[in-house]
Amino acid sequence: MPIGSSPVQQASGSATSGSSVPITISAPTAGNNLYVMIEIRPFTTTVSSISGGGVTWTKAGSVASSGFPDAEIWQGPNSSGSGTSITINTSGTITAAYAVCAEWNGLDSGGALDSAASNPASNFNSSSTPSATPGITTANAADLILIVYGCVTARTVSSGPTASFTGFTSPAATLMNCAYRVVSATGTYNPQWNLSGSSAWSCVSVAFKGAVTSAFIADDPDIIPQAVARSSYF
């Protein structure tokens, strides 16, 4: 199965206190993968765990530094098809946190990442152009690439994301945004947003491999019905 061209569903959540961020989703389709993109402040607070959605959650990429927001991407592959409540637990008290959860089909059921040395990519800076520079130079042709940034000062997005990425609906578009692109060829992918003014920001991007499928091809079915399994990423 090829990677879905867009998410099966997406939902968002936010919190300005406490130590968790709730997100409500529709029950995912069994076998699909779930992804969470989140921005948290203060910078000393990070995601400690995520539960729900019928998956086992693991962190795929993150970036944080003193004076900058924490930005993270988590994944939960191969859903059992149960669970509509996602709970993002944090290591400390939140002053602001914004998250998006997306469901996708056609991704590797084991949660494999693209093997590129540049994956994941991350960056933090103070400017009006958040990006995960230098981006990801993929090793696998068929990938889903996710990216998220969070900024300290509220800024309107003037344009972006660039590089043919599609933005998710953010719960706080002046403080956090995330985007995706499904690619079918190797290359360097480094989208950015253009903001209305400068701000301290953090940004992280991760490339996830498409699903492995096997095709059985008979060598000579008229003589000896043998089959050869061949696998590839789509």
pLDDT digits (tens, 9 = 90+) for 187-222: 999 999 999 999 999 999 999 999 976 544 445 445
CA angle 24, 30, 33 (to 5 degrees): 65
Q: Give the CA angle between residues 122, 123, 128 to the nearest 5°.
A: 135
Instruction: Write down the pLDDT at residue 213.
Output: 66
Distances (CA, A) of 55 to 44, 72, 130, 135: 27, 18, 31, 28
Q: Residue 5: is its pLDDT beyond 50?
A: yes
Q: How far is it, in rounded angstroms, from Cα 83 to Cα 31?
A: 13
At 187, list the tokens: 């290359």
The pLDDT, as a whole number, for residue 43 is: 87
Residue 224 has pLDDT above 70, yes or no: no
Q: For residue 46, is pLDDT > 80?
A: yes
Q: Is 46 exposed, middle or buried (0-12, 13-18, 19+ CB in 10 A)?
A: middle
Specify the pLDDT at position 198: 98
Decide: pTM greater than 0.85: yes
**What's the mean pLDDT in 159-186?**
98
Q: Is the pLDDT at 13 greater than 80, yes or no?
A: yes
